[in-house]
Amino acid sequence: MTDFAIGVDLGGTNLRIAAVDVEGRLIEKVTLGTRIALGSARVLDDMCDAIRRLSEKYQDGSNLLGIGIGVPGIIDMDTAMIRESPNLPGWSDTPVRKEIERRLHTRVILENDANSAAFGEKWLGAARHVDDMAIITLGTGVGGGIVLNGHIWHGMNGMAGEFGHTTIEPDGVLCGCGNRGCVEQYASASAVMRMAKAAIASGHAPALARAASSDPEFSAKAVYNLAVQGDADARRIFQQVGRALGILVANLVNSLNLPMYVVGGGVSSAWDAFSPNIFQELRQRCMVYAATAPPSHTGDQGASAQVDAKVSRNTIITRALLGSDAGLYGAARLPMIENQ
């Protein structure tokens, strides 16, 4: 058997652990609930138990290259501590890497979850043919990651890629970070819900109002379903998402001139509802995109567009291919690269 690594995606809801071999093949994946309420020590125990089980099971005849862990929030790369994480309340004083290393006696690489997702898409997903790329992850919040020359761009303290808190409306909606008009306030699942509630409150969005009152689990996904069915109010909400992402991507294209920008995370499954507005904003706002757009640049171009990017150096904006596994694969990849 070929060598393998263990990747962990530590989310606020789910804790996922996977053994992945150096060819990118999934060996085994374990999904647990993250028992946040029991405190960080118990969550780390759960994680380490699962890692131990997987590594013992597969270490016969092949080497465990290491453990990579994707964590939501801002990580201080020097201390490997979580600096700020809305999804892991109370973890900001936990020396996460040290605690895991103490339990497992193995070297551990800690990484921001969006950086892990970027690395996963670069290794096995939409960006596998390019060395430079950025990812925007749309979930409860909006995260991001940058890969340059095949490596995660951490910046000075490991805080690079916080695209969700860049400003697109200077006097816009107040964000939890203290800023106004953050991308996250217009392009996350929470933003979709905020806009849906505002539309319902206006009294002019009957289908949304009906869905909200009849569905006890009314969510961004339900708003998307209405948009797919053609409801104008739901469609407008995803047009707002696309506009916000379009301004963000236009700014990234003008600033970084990368060959590829990937949109991932749960909300990216609504790609067909918001992506036309991304391209509309890009065409209007972005001189570098105007100079580098592929011949057809009105939607998701899939694999053929990626080939174009290799040949003709166009700017490609596309959706992620690995879905919610991108961060898991990317986390597993971290110790492989470190060991090469």
Residues that bind a second copy (CB under 8 A): 74, 78, 83-84, 132, 144, 146, 148, 153-163, 165-170, 177-180, 243, 247, 250-252, 254-259, 284-288, 290-292, 313, 315
Burial profile 9-21: b = 16 or more Cβ within 10 angstroms, e = fewer: bbbbeebbbbbbb
Which of residues 11 and 259 has its CB atom nearest to a second copy in the complex? 259
Which of residues 8 and 249 has its CB atom nearest to a second copy in the complex? 249
CB of 103 to a second copy, least distance (A): 28
CB of 136 to a second copy, least distance (A): 11
CB of 18 to a second copy, least distance (A): 28
d(CA 134, CA 129): 13
Q: Any bridge partners for residue 14, and if so which?
A: 33
List, as one string, the DSSP characters of 85-125: -TTSTT-TT--HHHHHHHHH-S-EEEEEHHHHHHHHHHHHS
Which of residues 120 and 259 has its CB atom nearest to a second copy in the complex? 259
Which of residues 58 and 289 has its CB atom nearest to a second copy in the complex? 289
The pairing of beta strand 64-71 with beta strand 108-112: parallel
CB of 162 to a second copy, least distance (A): 4
Which amino acid is located at 8 in the chain? V
N-term to C-term CA, the chain: 18
In the chain, the DSSP E strands lie at: 4-10, 14-21, 26-33, 64-71, 74-76, 81-84, 108-112, 133-138, 142-148, 151-152, 260-264, 316-319
Which of residues 151 and 210 has its CB atom nearest to a second copy in the complex? 151
Q: Any bridge partners for residue 8, and if so which?
A: 17, 69
For residue 42 the two structure tokens come to 């118990």
d(CA 190, CA 267): 10
CB of 114 to a second copy, least distance (A): 12
CB of 311 to a second copy, least distance (A): 12
CB of 339 to a second copy, least distance (A): 22
Which amino acid is located at 162 in the chain? E
Which of residues 106 and 240 has its CB atom nearest to a second copy in the complex? 240
Which of residues 38 and 287 has its CB atom nearest to a second copy in the complex? 287
